[in-house]
Structure 1
Amino acid sequence: MSDDERLFDEEMAGVKPLQTEQRVNIKRNVNDPASVEARRQAATAREGKRNFLTTSEIPLLDPYYLLEYRREGVQHGVFRKLKQGKYAIEARLDLHKMTVEQASKQVFEFIREAMAVDLRTVMIVHGRGHRNASGGAVLKSYINHWLPEMSEVQAFSSAQPQHGGAGAVYVMLRKSERKKQENRDRLARGRGN
């Protein structure tokens, strides 16, 4: 036995191990409504802060392909009016000459800002892409891929010829809670007369 080991043994003589309390393993119910709601809010908060739109390769659409998308719950008449360009365009984003990465950031920020100021109908000009060497409409294809991923987007449709036709898209955004309440108040006042 070395001197260090002997010295250690002498110093440790009479030392007793600490007593530890037995712990009860509590199993949380991960499916209770409060924890489910807390996780949902945390996920929504994360989603709202960072751009989740993919810039990885996707199949390219034909330059003259007409875009059309409607979330469940959007009335047919409302969607028809959107397709016909009958809603006032409250804001416009032009993506001409942008890379996919630049366009991703611009679209993400544009939709978030439009929601923040209670806009309902906006337009995104993506171009047809008929001059693209690959033969496909790059930005148009990404717009068609990105918009359904954004929960704020209720519907979209290629624009009428006077607004850019197959090179632009009308986008209908979700109504904010504040605007919904304003409508309820307005309707309630109308019924009271």
Structure 2
Amino acid sequence: MQDKNDDVLAFMAEMSDVKPLAQTEHVTITPQETSLAQKLKREALEREEAKLAYQLTLELQEYLDPYDLLTHKQDGIQEGVYKNLRLGKYPIENRVSLLKMSLVEARERLIQVIEKAYEKGQRVILIQHGLGLNSQPKPGKLKSYINVWLAQFPQVIAFHSAHKQHGGSGNTYVMLKKNPQQKLINREKHQKRY
């Protein structure tokens, strides 16, 4: 017990010349202005993080033939839904052209379009990528990348090369899953009321 009292007395002796801070009723916050350079740097970092999040590669081992059909659907997608997508029966809510873009530009544009379309609740978009008959080092380069990239987006539940009326196999229908707001609206719409 003596040791504790000695410790307390020693502590009090050391703290004898310490004065409490004055209490103020105002807290001063100085707003930090973000410079244009800082904003641009942050936006560039966010774009890089998005690319990394999707793991959209710029190195392919195998290229498709320019006339190959792009086709993909996640497990659980109903055959009827996929068939209607394949036949171009759903209204196209957004179109984006990636023609004459570098791979880096096309990848960034694809990320932007899919994220914005998903946020807006768009379900079907049309990607124009062309056949790539004259692309180097091999024909069908961008089309091959689109095939790999689209399958890596969590928002994309299915895609298929477009029907002739929408540009044929140089274009691709992309079906996005419902965003949370759409799911809520759908749930309320179909909820049975007693």
Q: Which runs of 4+ in 1 moved over 6 A?
A: none
Q: Does structure 1 residue 159 correspond to structure 2 residue 184? A: no
Letter in 1 for 2:50: R
Residue 35 of structure 2 corresponds to none
Residue 103 of structure 1 corresponds to 106
Q: Does structure 1 residue 66 correspond to structure 2 residue 66? A: no
Residue 50 of structure 1 corresponds to 50
TM superposition score normalised by structure 1:
0.71
Q: Does structure 1 residue 77 correspond to structure 2 residue 84? A: no
Q: Is the 8 A contact 2:69 2:169 kept in 1?
A: yes
Q: For residue 136 of structure 1, report the CA deviation from its aligned partner.
A: 2.0
Q: Is the 8 A contact 1:62 1:135 kept in 2?
A: no
Q: Cα 1:187–1:113, aligned 2, differ >3 Å: closer, same or farther?
A: same
Residue 188 of structure 2 corresponds to 185
Q: 1:91 aligns with which of 89, 94, 111?
A: 94
Q: Is the 8 A contact 1:58 1:141 kept in 2?
A: no
Unpaired stretches in structure 2, ≥5 consecutive residues: 1-45
Residue 175 of structure 2 corresponds to 172
Q: What is the alpha-carbon distance in structure 2 between the residues aligned to residue 124 and residue 74 of structure 1?
A: 20
Q: What is the alpha-carbon distance in structure 2 between the residues aligned to residue 136 and residue 73 of structure 1?
A: 33
SS at match of 1:69: strand
Q: Does structure 1 residue 143 correspond to structure 2 residue 146? A: yes
Q: Is the 8 A contact 1:70 1:155 kept in 2?
A: yes
Unpaired stretches in structure 1, ≥5 consecutive residues: 1-45
Q: What is the alpha-carbon distance in structure 2 between the residues aligned to residue 135 and residue 54 of structure 1?
A: 17
SS at match of 1:50: helix
Residue 124 of structure 1 corresponds to 127
SS at match of 2:51: coil
Letter in 2 for 1:128: L
Report the RMSD for the aligned CA atoms in angstroms.
1.9
Count matched residues: 146
Letter in 2 for 1:50: A
Q: What is the alpha-carbon distance in structure 1 between the residues aligned to residue 83 and residue 154 of structure 2?
A: 21
Q: Is the 8 A contact 2:60 2:145 kept in 1?
A: no
Q: For residue 47 of structure 1, report the CA deviation from its aligned partner.
A: 10
Q: For residue 57 of structure 1, report the CA deviation from its aligned partner.
A: 3.2
TM superposition score normalised by structure 2:
0.71
SS at match of 1:51: helix
SS at match of 1:58: coil
Q: What is the alpha-carbon distance in structure 1 between the residues aligned to residue 65 and residue 110 of structure 2?
A: 21
Q: What is the alpha-carbon distance in structure 1 between the residues aligned to residue 66 and residue 98 of structure 2?
A: 15
Q: What is the alpha-carbon distance in structure 1 between the residues aligned to residue 142 and residue 110 of structure 2?
A: 11
Q: For residue 48 of structure 1, report the CA deviation from its aligned partner.
A: 10
